[in-house]
Each structure stands twice: as C-alpha cells, then as structure tokens.
C-alpha cells in the first residue's frame, strides 16, 4: 500500500490536475457523472457508493485513503467524502502519460479488496465490523497498535450492511471483550492477534505492490 501511494504521489507531479476541498456527505460525483475522470486523495477519506432503488439506502462499496488513486468509473457509482478531504481531479485520465502501470496496480488491488468484502458479507455482525477496523488500520499504516477511525458509525453501517444502532452495539461488545479501546476517534488494539482471529482477517489481500 505504501509503495502504491509513493508511486501515485510521484505521478501527480507529472500530470494536469486540480485540487478541490470537499465536505462529508456532499457527493463529489453522482453515479454516471465521472466516466473520464480519475481522482487522487490528497488527505481525508472518500468512498464509492450506490443507492438502492427499493429502499433508497446508501451502500458504500469501496474506501480510498490519503495517497490512493481512484480510477475512472463506468458510471454505476458515485463518489463521496466521508471526512473533510482534499481531492485531486484528473480530467481525461486514461489519456494522461505515465498512468498505465499504476492503473494496473490499482485495478489488481481494487479487485482483491472487492473479493474480500464479498467474502466477509456472510460473516456475523461482530466479525464484519472487526474486519473493517483491521483493514482500515493496515491501510492507514498504523496497525497493529492503533488507528484514527475516520468513519462514523453510520458509515460503518453502510459498509457492513447493518444499522447504525447495531454498529454501536457491536463496537461496545468489542470494547467490553477487550478487543478494542476507544478514545474519541482513536481506536487501539490491545490484542491484535485476537481481533484478527475474531475477524478472520489476513492482510495478504492488501499486499499488491
């Protein structure tokens, strides 16, 4: 992950882009509005999302953190910041020089994460939340000691297909069992090996440098 971030940061010095400041829950792009654009997260966290036609509920299908590149989309998803963020917008991304190798790297990583998220959809509620916390900590480079959880309980619910009330209950259970400790947005992991076991989390799927 770190290697990819360094390559992406280097790429940004060689292509035309503009940086925009974006605020939470205000879509940067709605579905179908960014087919020819790529995005680079300078800081913060953004997500890809869709709405259910039947319930109008938002589902978050991918997360992107500082230093990560979001490829041009086929139009099925929107993009929304989950925290105040700075995002570089790259027009005509596929026509920019120096991008093909990085596009392949990112495509492999996105596919690997998507397969893992599909697999954990069948886990119980506690395991799904624990797995997400482990993944965020690894992607942020702070595991196994702690993480700055930049997601709200509502965001976690949208990712794990639960209600925010249930997510609150699960987080409390994880804390009571000693798997996490919370101090504001900071979450620490007193026993990293045990929470990984509970979550069935193995970080190899994130290692595509």
- pLDDT tens, residue by residue, 124-171: 999 999 999 999 999 988 778 889 999 999 999 999 999 999 999 999
DSSP state of 42: E
- pLDDT, tens only, 81-93: 999 999 999 887 7
Query: What is the strand order of the sheet 58-65 is part of?
Result: 58-65, 45-51, 78-81
Q: What residues contact residue 159 under an 8 Å CB cut-off, 6+ apart?
A: 60, 63, 132, 151
Going by pLDDT thresholds of 50, 70 and 90, the confidence category of residue 4 is low
CB 192 within 8 Å of CB 131: no
Q: How high is the pLDDT of residue 3?
A: 47
- Single pTM value for the model: 0.88
Distance CA 69, CA 52 (A): 26
Going by pLDDT thresholds of 50, 70 and 90, the confidence category of residue 6 is very low
DSSP H stretches of helix in 75-204: 100-120, 125-139, 153-160, 164-176, 192-199
Q: How high is the pLDDT of residue 188?
A: 95
- pLDDT, tens only, 167-195: 999 999 999 999 999 999 899 999 999 99
What is the mean predicted confidence (pLDDT) over 47-64?
86
Going by pLDDT thresholds of 50, 70 and 90, the confidence category of residue 43 is very high
Q: How high is the pLDDT of residue 9?
A: 59
Considering only residues 205 and 36, tell me which one the structure prediction assigns the higher pLDDT. 205
């Amino acid at each position: 992950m770190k290697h990819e971030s360094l390559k992406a940061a280097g790429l940004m010095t060689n292509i035309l882009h503009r940086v925009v400041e974006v605020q939470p829950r205000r879509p940067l792009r709605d579905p179908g509005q960014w087919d020819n654009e790529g995005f680079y997260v300078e800081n913060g966290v953004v997500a890809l999302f869709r709405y259910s036609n039947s319930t109008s509920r938002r589902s978050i299908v991918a997360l992107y953190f500082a230093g990560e590149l979001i490829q041009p989309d086929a139009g099925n998803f929107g993009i929304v910041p989950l925290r105040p963020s700075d995002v570089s917008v790259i027009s005509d991304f596929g026509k920019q020089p120096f991008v093909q190798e990085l596009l392949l790297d990112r495509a492999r990583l996105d596919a690997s994460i998507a397969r893992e998220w599909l697999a954990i959809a069948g886990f119980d509620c506690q395991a799904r939340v624990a797995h997400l916390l482990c993944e965020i900590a690894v992607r942020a480079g702070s595991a196994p000691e702690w993480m700055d959880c930049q997601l709200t309980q509502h965001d976690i619910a949208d990712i794990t297909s639960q209600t925010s009330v249930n997510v609150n209950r699960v987080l409390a259970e994880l804390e009571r069992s000693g798997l996490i400790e919370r101090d504001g947005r900071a979450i620490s992991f007193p026993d990293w090996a045990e929470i990984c076991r509970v979550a069935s989390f193995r970080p190899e799927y994130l290692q595509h440098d």
